[in-house]
């Protein structure tokens, strides 16, 4: 786990160059990552997601793919959002821009994501059974259906970030 600020304040996850994925803990063993004998691995399926977000079936659930580019990503529970660091001089500057960025973002099309509870965010190339070898963060989400929307925001001349906002629609 990469930490740019005080330990435990914000935990950033990075990938080796591909997309990140948020997989419900209940189905982690079903995510094979880049492993497997199939002609198209789970990682290949994640790489095929077009745009900032997409959903992929994993076991009897759905995982959220954070596509577009392999940016350092953190989940900010106070904002219900994944923040993807595209460019910025400092973490403090980037994080300070998040509230205004969420209010002024031009959001893309929403998708609905059914979540059974806690998810693990990690590099989509890794199998769900071996996330200890990669950056990852555990995100406690309330079970239910979420509206997921994404936007690229430039809150300052040298600061760009992608936002993936989650809004609980129907708790279980």
Residue 2 falls within a domain, yes or no? no
The pTM assigned to this predicted structure is 0.90
**CA dist., res. 94 & res. 102, Å (int):** 12
> Tens digit of pLDDT for each residue in 6-56?
545 789 998 888 899 999 999 999 999 998 666 689 999 999 998 899 999
Residue 164 falls within a domain, yes or no? yes
**CA dist., res. 113 & res. 139, Å (int):** 15
Q: Residue 109 above 50 pLDDT?
A: yes
Residue 8 falls within a domain, yes or no? no
3-state SS track over 122-172: EECCCCHHHHHHCCEEEECCCCEEEEEEEEEEEEECCEEEEEEEEEEEEEC
* Structural domains in the chain (count): 1
Residue 13 falls within a domain, yes or no? no
Residue 31 falls within a domain, yes or no? yes
> Tens digit of pLDDT for each residue in 78-99?
999 999 988 888 888 889 999 9
Residue 133 falls within a domain, yes or no? yes
Domain that holds residue 25: 20-171
Q: Cβ distance 118 to 27 under 8 Å?
A: no
């Amino acid at each position: 786990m990469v930490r740019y600020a005080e330990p435990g304040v914000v935990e950033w996850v990075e990938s080796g160059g591909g997309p990140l994925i948020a997989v419900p803990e209940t189905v982690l063993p079903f995510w094979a990552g880049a492993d497997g004998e199939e002609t198209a691995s789970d990682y290949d399926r994640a790489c095929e997601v077009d745009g900032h977000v997409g959903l992929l079936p994993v076991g009897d659930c759905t995982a959220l793919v954070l596509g577009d580019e392999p940016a350092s990503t953190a989940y900010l529970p106070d904002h219900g959002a994944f923040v993807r660091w595209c460019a910025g001089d400092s973490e403090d500057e980037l994080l300070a821009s998040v509230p205004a960025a969420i209010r002024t973002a031009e959001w893309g099309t929403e998708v609905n994501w059914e979540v059974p509870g806690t998810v693990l965010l990690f590099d989509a190339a890794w199998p769900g059974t071996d996330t200890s070898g990669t950056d990852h963060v555990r995100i406690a989400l309330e079970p239910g259906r979420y509206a997921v929307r994404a936007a690229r925001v430039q809150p300052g001349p040298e600061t760009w970030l992608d936002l993936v906002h989650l809004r609980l629609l129907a708790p279980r």
